Structure 1
Amino acid sequence: MLLNSELKVIRWDYRMADNILEIKLQEDDDKLQKMLSSKGIEKRVILRTCNRLEIYFHDDAKFSENELENAELLKDEHAIRHLLRVSSGLESMSIGEQEILRQIKEAFDLAHKQGRTDKFLSMIFQKALKVGKEVRETTEISHGKVSIPSIMIEQIEKKGLLNSSTIGVIGTGKMAATVVKYLKKKPSVKITIYGRNEEAGSELSHLFKVNFRKTLDIGNIVEECHVIVTATSSKTPLITRELIEKIPRKLLFIDISNPKNIEESYSNPNVELINLEMANQILQENRKRKEKDIEVAETIIDRELRKIYSKLAEGEIEGYIASIYSRSKDILSDEIEKFSRAIENGTEEREALELLGNSIVNKVLAPETLTLKKMVREGKTESVREFLDSAMKFTDRELYSSSEDHKENQSQQVQNHQLYQKP
């Protein structure tokens, strides 16, 4: 990987077992930020959604086993490719999900506002957003029902329960808000949001112009609704088997919570339950239908990944060349002072000039000369030979054989100097 450009990502997502993601998502954000700062990770972007928690950075940091327990750590190309796949909707629970692009942009914008981004992270995330947009414009990967809420609402519609039905949404978070947003597209549905967080519930109620009730009295909610959607982060089930078995009429439960909010092991023919586990078949069918779109998306990602590495390489080479010119000017300045002192001390001008010239040549070429010799000792002869073959084409005689070549070299020196002077 190129120096100072090693992207890393620590990730937890919906594919992890034993509610690992849920535990991480419930951790205090300030605590996470302090932990990262304590590791010297000042430049970072944290992507937090209902189904993933990912930390992108490129600082060197050491973590204990406890800090990275159950996490996956990706580096270099694997990390960049992962971000491009996430932005393209290939890493989502529902393939082609649209919402993730907005979430990535919001995560980056927040990090930028907090002063936690730099040129490298900005370039990578802007590229990811561009790739995500291109994949959706080039393919049909995001056509149809692609989000979990929209898929679940489609199931409600198939059962004929979106006409003059009362639907209760338990929860006041982002997932609950998304559910309400989709339900609002069905004008004949009466929607009520239920939850204990009065501030968040009132905000959603005002935003979508629906009812809000500050309660989690499940018995009353069951009596009032034909369909109940649970979308909370509760660690324990809100709706128990015992309660479900007492329901005397037809009722549909939609559980899009993780962990599950509704117990499954009940016996009541009046009640039907659809949860994320049961929706998995729908998700797999969607993925199968979009196999060709996925292939196109992977091709776009491969192409843009090559461009990223090319840009990183170009930037690093320009920086290195700028450092050579800067180092050479420092050497020249030092040698001129030595030359002046030598003349003052009576050294012949010709001798002093030869000393100055030899010293400059040796000091300027020393790092590259020693590096080439080291590469040969390490058996990297093919790389050395390739470099020498290219370098020999630009000897002084050939480089200055035309005025155009000379102008080009001068221009390069000016560009490198300007580049080095940038903050």
Structure 2
Amino acid sequence: MITILKADYKKYNVSELEKLRIDEEKFYENFDDAILLQTCNRVEMIFDAEKYKNIKELEKIGINLDKFEIISGEKAIEHLFRVASGLESMIVGEDQILGQLKNSYLKAKEKGKLSKRLEKIILKAIHTGQRARLETKINEGGVSIGSASVELAERVFGLDGKNVLLIGAGEMANLVIKALKEKNIKAIIVANRTYEKAERLAKELGGMAIKFDKLEEALRYADIVISATGAPHPILNKERLKNAGKTVIIDIANPRDTTDDIRELPDVFLFTIDDLKLVAEENLKKRMEEVPKVEMIICEELEQLKELLDRMEFENAVRELGQYIENIRKKELEKAKNILKNKNKPVEDVLDDFSKSLCKKIIYDIITIFENLDNKEMFNTLASEFKKLKQQKSKNKT
């Protein structure tokens, strides 16, 4: 199983989580059979619990254990599956966490830090996250103001082949960028009072920047306008948009960038942050309705993983047993060879002694093991199964 040390947005804000971040190189230099997952909303250390048990050693690299919640066993695996599926994200169902988990897995694998068991668990978590998004609608519909603005524009007007004007280059504008990047837009224009900021943003989007004095010209060119400035007063009104033609205006600024008289223009459709909140809330409600379906997928995948891990454990036990018997066989064979070299006994007698000694040593060790077990029923079960096997082989001979 695994052990996870976690700190996330449920307990800490972004700046507090930033202080809990761990130096990746230092982490992997000190620990094997582990994966480090770090995002803006979480810091999680995932360990193979069988391979690594001394959590206190984390303090050697400056990690304050009091800041982290520790979960182990099946609860830890379930948590990891929920993380991969987006159920533990601040925005339920978001896709980014799945890519972040994949990247963390690849880094740990590249550094040779994965046990076979831990790798199986992580890959199963990634598969579970993929199933959740393919088989349910947990990630559909924008639930942030930025993504909701793009969704609303797409719903009302369509985005394919459209010209988009983004006014502003601050935090809200950056939220819009994440959603716009996935769309098939013809052209993006970025306008901002500080031209250098507009240039940086336009470069990131593969668009073009304009100075603020060219705004009215850009408004006539744009099909969709998303306004997200930090201006203290409106920058768009009926007069400024009277020659804009058919246009969708989405105002996500606070305070608003638009005036209500814009709604009087027959070809201009205005949506404000209040409209977007309704869209975001509606989408979040739809996502929450999908949570039980995702939890069913997680249950299915947990059962499959348990069977896989049990099989791995059994195969490991068989390998260990095989190695143990092989070591005894080699020792007894060496004794038999020495006796044959000295020619003290006939070959038949040497082989007979070799086989008896091999069996006695194996049986003696097995009895010793079972004498030390609290559960004596296991020995009786084993004896019963050997008896059945013997009877079966006797039938096969006849």
Fold match (TM-score > 0.5): yes
User: Which residue does 1:260 correspond to in 2?
Assistant: none
Aligned partner of residue 23 in structure 1, secondary structure: helix
> Which residue of the other structure, out of 34, 37, 52, is the alignment partner of 2:26?
34
> Which residue of the other structure, out of 16, 24, 35, is the alignment partner of 1:23?
16
Aligned partner of residue 46 in structure 1, secondary structure: strand
> Which residue of the other structure, out of 304, 309, 313, is the alignment partner of 2:306?
309
The amino acid that maps onto 2:34 is R
Give the Cα separation in 2 of the matches to 1:283 and 1:74. Answer: 33
Cα 1:35–1:69, aligned 2, differ >3 Å: closer, same or farther?
Answer: farther
> Which residue of the other structure, out of 386, 389, 392, is the alignment partner of 1:394?
389
Instruction: Give deviations 1:253-290, integer Å, cap 9, x for gaps.
Output: 669xxxxxxxxxx9xxx9xx979xx97x9877655434
User: Which residue does 1:299 correspond to in 2?
Assistant: 296
Give the 5 Å matches for 1:320-339: 320-339=317-336
The amino acid that maps onto 1:398 is Q
Cα 1:393–1:145, aligned 2, differ >3 Å: closer, same or farther?
Answer: farther
Contact (CA 8 Å) 2:81, 2:129: kept in 1 or not? yes
Give the Cα separation in 2 of the matches to 1:194 and 1:52. Answer: 35
Give the Cα separation in 2 of the matches to 1:164 and 1:313. Answer: 55
Give the 5 Å matches for 1:52-71: 52-58=42-48, 59-60=51-52, 61-62=54-55, 63-64=58-59, 66-71=63-68
The amino acid that maps onto 2:16 is I
Instruction: Give deviations 1:302-327, integer Å, cap 9, x for gaps.
Output: 12112112112212212221232232
Contact (CA 8 Å) 2:34, 2:46: kept in 1 or not? yes
Give the Cα separation in 1 of the matches to 2:371 and 2:193. Answer: 72
In the alignment, structure 1 residue 133 sits paired with structure 2 residue 130:
yes
Which runs of no fewer than 5 residues in structure 2 stay unpaired?
212-224, 237-250, 260-271
> Aligned-pair distance for 1:121?
3.3
Give the Cα separation in 2 of the matches to 1:114 and 1:45. Answer: 10
Give the Cα separation in 2 of the matches to 1:394 and 1:174. Answer: 69
> Aligned-pair distance for 1:360?
1.0
Structure 1 range deviating more: 306-315 or 316-325: 316-325
Contact (CA 8 Å) 2:144, 2:280: kept in 1 or not? no
The structure having more radius of gyration, on CA atoms, is 2
Give the Cα separation in 2 of the matches to 1:194 and 1:388. Answer: 84
Contact (CA 8 Å) 2:172, 2:228: kept in 1 or not? no
Give the Cα separation in 2 of the matches to 1:93 and 1:203. Answer: 25
> Aligned-pair distance for 1:369?
2.4
Give the Cα separation in 2 of the matches to 1:173 and 1:393. Answer: 73
Aligned partner of residue 402 in structure 1, secondary structure: helix
The amino acid that maps onto 1:402 is N
Cα 1:335–1:164, aligned 2, differ >3 Å: closer, same or farther?
Answer: closer
User: Which residue does 2:181 correspond to in 1?
Assistant: 181
User: Which residue does 1:359 correspond to in 2?
Assistant: 357
TM-score when scaled to structure 2?
Answer: 0.67
Structure 1 range deviating more: 305-314 or 286-295: 286-295
Cα 1:384–1:125, aligned 2, differ >3 Å: closer, same or farther?
Answer: same
Contact (CA 8 Å) 1:96, 1:146: kept in 2 or not? no
> Aligned-pair distance for 1:34?
0.6
Give the 5 Å matches for 1:39-188: 41-58=31-48, 59-60=51-52, 61-62=54-55, 63-64=58-59, 66-146=63-143, 149-151=146-148, 166-170=166-170, 178=178, 181=181
Contact (CA 8 Å) 2:189, 2:210: kept in 1 or not? no
Cα 1:254–1:339, aligned 2, differ >3 Å: closer, same or farther?
Answer: farther
Figure out how many residues of one structure are paired with residues of the other and give that number.
Answer: 346
The amino acid that maps onto 2:359 is V
Cα 1:172–1:95, aligned 2, differ >3 Å: closer, same or farther?
Answer: closer
Give the Cα separation in 1 of the matches to 2:78 and 2:142. Answer: 25
User: Which residue does 2:7 correspond to in 1?
Assistant: 12
User: Which residue does 1:410 correspond to in 2?
Assistant: none
Percent identity between the two aligned chains: 23
Give the Cα separation in 1 of the matches to 2:344 and 2:180. Answer: 90
> Aligned-pair distance for 1:50?
2.9
> Aligned-pair distance for 1:342?
4.2
Give the Cα separation in 1 of the matches to 2:202 and 2:35. Answer: 27
Aligned partner of residue 315 in structure 1, secondary structure: helix
Cα 1:368–1:147, aligned 2, differ >3 Å: closer, same or farther?
Answer: farther
Instruction: Give deviations 1:7-53, integer Å, cap 9, x for gaps.
Output: 22222222113x2x533336676x34314533xx1343333333222
Cα 1:341–1:319, aligned 2, differ >3 Å: closer, same or farther?
Answer: same
The amino acid that maps onto 2:46 is Y
TM-score when scaled to structure 1?
Answer: 0.64
RMSD: 4.7
Structure 1 range deviating more: 167-176 or 73-82: 167-176
